[in-house]
Amino acid sequence: MKKVILLIVAGLFFMSGAAIAVPSGKTLEFTKSPMGKVTFSGTEHAEAGIKCKECHNPEMFPKMKQGTVKITMSKIYAGELCGKCHNGKRAFEAKKNCARCHKH
């Protein structure tokens, strides 16, 4: 019996640890645009099969810290940052889908 409880406790500890530490479970909010808040879901991007390095590399988002890169639409339309994928090929095109990112 003791062993079972220990296993459950260990399991719960592991799960809660994962929820805090695994950034794929994280959500980032970008609130500076007059078009409305953009919510970035780490889970959705991980589920789309995207690896950390595809975004966290020197050309895109070098630091795993929010607020270090200024995101603008001109960069996105030029195929940089979020626009590297949100170009109508790998993911929905930014130009035609404002409201899929910007929500009020």
Please report, as ranges, the residues that interact with ligand HEC according to CB under 6 A: 23-24, 26, 28, 30-35, 38, 40, 44-46, 48, 50, 52, 54-56, 61, 63-69, 71-74, 76, 81-82, 84-86, 90-92, 94-95, 97-98, 100-102
Q: How far is the CB of 14 from ligand HEC (least distance, A)?
A: 17
CB of 12 to ligand HEC, least distance (A): 22
- What is d(CA 51, CA 86) in angstroms, rounded to the nearest whole number? 16
Whats the size of the chain, residue-wise? 104
Q: Which residue, 3 or 65, is less far from ligand HEC as judged by CB?
A: 65
Q: Rounded to the nearest whole angstrom, what is the least distance from the CB of residue 16 to ligand HEC in the complex?
A: 17
15 or 34: CB nearest ligand HEC: 34
Burial 64-74, CB ≥16 within 10 A → b, else e:
eeeeeeebeee
**Residue 61 near residue 69 (C-beta atoms within 8 A):** yes
Give the list of residues 6+ apart from residue 42 with CB closer than 8 angstroms, or none: 23, 24, 25, 26, 27, 28
